[in-house]
Structure 1
Amino acid sequence: MSGNWVEDRDQLLAEAIRLRQAGRREEARERLVALSERLPQDAEVAYQTAWVHDTLGLEAEAVPYYERALDGSDLSDDDRRGALLGLGSTYRILGRYEEAAALLGEAAREFPDDGALKTFLAMALYNTGRTHDAMEILLMLLAETTNDPEIAGYRPAIEEYAKDLDATM
């Protein structure tokens, strides 16, 4: 890169993100792949490259970029959360259910207030046959986050049943 490489990197990355956001995903992918080749240790570039592959339905190609992004330590908390969700969801889409459940489980523990991570974890658990665990997560999430007054009125019961769906009261 010429000139101040940090400014060049930042400008090229911002431009690629704008292209993705504008729906010009293939152009964004080409630029991000090139940038990722130039900066293979840059976790943020790897994350953005993975993300654009996912938006194009190229999940298998996204995996190594997600993994590279998560191997790095310079992701913001928000980008780390997004990369964990993206990789876990991608593993699930690719039929790698156990890996998805393990990764999303770790991510949900790292970011316990993130309902999206819990939702994707529940889907992965369902795919592994752990339907009871999946239902528990979803019922607890519903009880904690609903704005529906009819459901909210039953919150204590829903939370109790979520712990053991087979129990009678």
Structure 2
Amino acid sequence: MEANLQHAIELYTAGKLEEAREQLLQLVTANPKHPQTLYYTASVHDSLGLEHEAEPYYRAALDNGLTGSERAEAFLGLGSTYRALGEYQQAVETLQQGVQEFPQQRALQVFLAMALYNVQRHAEAMELVLRIIAETSSNEDIQTYRRAILFYAPQLNQVWEA
């Protein structure tokens, strides 16, 4: 099984998506609870623009104990899939869970900000984006104003009177 999965992953990585999809579907049929197989089956469907088909595989991969960086990527993939399908609240919940488990994974935070925007939680979305920019940018101008950006990020609607 592992050799077959590795071959399917190599096909996926090489951009041979249809071939990878065929092999992964066979593997997942033979072993429907193998988390890595489920994850790559979701990923290949996602890469092919088949979000509806990807979603149950992402959920199953997470539910069946996917670990490590693949787990973080599965949260991102599932959250992004929900968002692409217009299921914005599910996207927020999924991405929040991912951020809770992987607080240093910035891509999850960025996708969460997009989903927060979609559910009209604009202030939270902007705060998250501003924090990410201030904390990760190497741009000299941004770093000059880092403290101010971090100060204002959670209080964008605050007005200070003289």
| TM-score band, normalised by shorter chain | over 0.9
Alpha-carbon distance in 1 for matches of 2:91, 2:20 = 27
Q: How does 1:86-105 map to 2 (within 5 A)?
A: 86-105=77-96
Alignment size in residue pairs: 160
**Pair 1:167-2:158 in alignment:** yes
**Pair 1:110-2:101 in alignment:** yes
What's the secondary structure of 1:34's corresponding residue? helix
**Pair 1:50-2:42 in alignment:** yes
Q: TM-score, normalised by structure 1?
A: 0.93
**Pair 1:157-2:138 in alignment:** no
Which residue of 2 is the match for residue 29 of structure 1? 21
Which residue of 2 is the match for residue 126 of structure 1? 117
Q: Structure 2: where are the runs of 5+ without partners?
A: none
Q: Structure 1: where are the runs of 5+ without partners?
A: 1-8
Alpha-carbon distance in 2 for matches of 1:118, 1:72 = 24
Give the C-alpha shift of residue 150 in structure 1: 0.4
Q: TM-score, normalised by structure 2?
A: 0.96
Alpha-carbon distance in 1 for matches of 2:113, 2:45 = 24
Alpha-carbon distance in 2 for matches of 1:118, 1:65 = 22
Q: Which among 123, 129, 143 is matched to residue 134 of structure 2?
A: 143
Which residue of 1 is the match for residue 76 of structure 2? 85
Which residue of 2 is the match for residue 66 of structure 1? 58
Alpha-carbon distance in 1 for matches of 2:27, 2:68 = 22
Alpha-carbon distance in 2 for matches of 1:89, 1:62 = 11
Identical residues among aligned pairs (%): 48
What's the secondary structure of 1:67's corresponding residue? helix
Which residue of 2 is the match for residue 5 of structure 1? none
Alpha-carbon distance in 1 for matches of 2:148, 2:106 = 20
What letter matches 1:77 in structure 2?
Answer: G
What letter matches 2:121 in structure 1?
Answer: R
Give the C-alpha shift of residue 56 in structure 1: 0.4
Give the C-alpha shift of residue 168 in structure 1: 3.4
